[in-house]
Amino acid sequence: MATNSEARPFVFGKECLDALTDAAKASVRHRKNLDFHSEASHPAQRLLNAVEPGSYVRPHRHLEPLKDETLIAVRGAFGLVFFDESGVITTTAIIRANGDAIGANIPRGVFHSLVSLESGSVFFEAKAGPYNPQSDKEWAPWAPPEGHDEAAVYLGRLRTLFEIS
């Protein structure tokens, strides 16, 4: 489910989202993407990303020119968190499929993270390619790395930003 690299139209819907969600649930990272671009070198990176609650998306930013990132909630809901250079939260927002806010455009250089708020949540992502894992993102030095003992605690603090009393 990682790539749809066939050179023909690809129509997707509930069945595709369900399969992607099932793959995310089975993944150690609790997320799974489906790339629409055929290879990492493609100049337009477009993908669906299923993210389950409990998946830690370490705060990061994209520094390369033209690396603005656009996210649109296709199903479920996500809490977005934006930070300044020192890790202070500057803005939060909830994007929800069919909600008042359905997406966000994140300019290059802005530290950000997201929190899945509902099981089955999927977003569409687009940004300029090519994708190079060594230079795609700069990790926030003030946030624990994925897999670190403190990552779950940090994610828990981010989740509390979106708890409704």
Read out DSSP for 18-83? HHHHHHHHHSTTSEEEEE-SSSTT-SEEEEEEEE-TT-----EE--STT--EEEEEEESEEEEEEE
Query: Up-side HSE of residue 32: CA atoms within 13 Å toward CB?
Result: 19
Class of domain 14-160 (CATH, top level): mainly beta
Query: Tell me, what's the pLDDT at 6?
Result: 57
Query: Tell me, what's the pLDDT at 1?
Result: 45
Distance CA 34, CA 48 (A): 5
Radius of gyration of the chain (CA): 15
Query: Tell me, what's the pLDDT at 3?
Result: 53
Query: Tell me, what's the pLDDT at 155?
Result: 97
The low-confidence residues of the chain, meaning pLDDT below 70, are 1-6, 164-165
In contact, 34 and 48? CB cutoff 8 Å = yes
Which residues contact residue 14 at a Cβ distance below 8 angstroms, ignoring those fewer than 6 apart? none
In contact, 27 and 49? CB cutoff 8 Å = no
- Token readout for 149 is 């003992």
Check: pTM over 0.85? Answer yes or no. yes
Task: Give residue limits of the domains in the chain.
Answer: 14-160
Q: Which residue has the tokens 């940090």?
A: 154
Query: Tell me, what's the pLDDT at 130?
Result: 92
Distance CA 47, CA 33 (A): 7
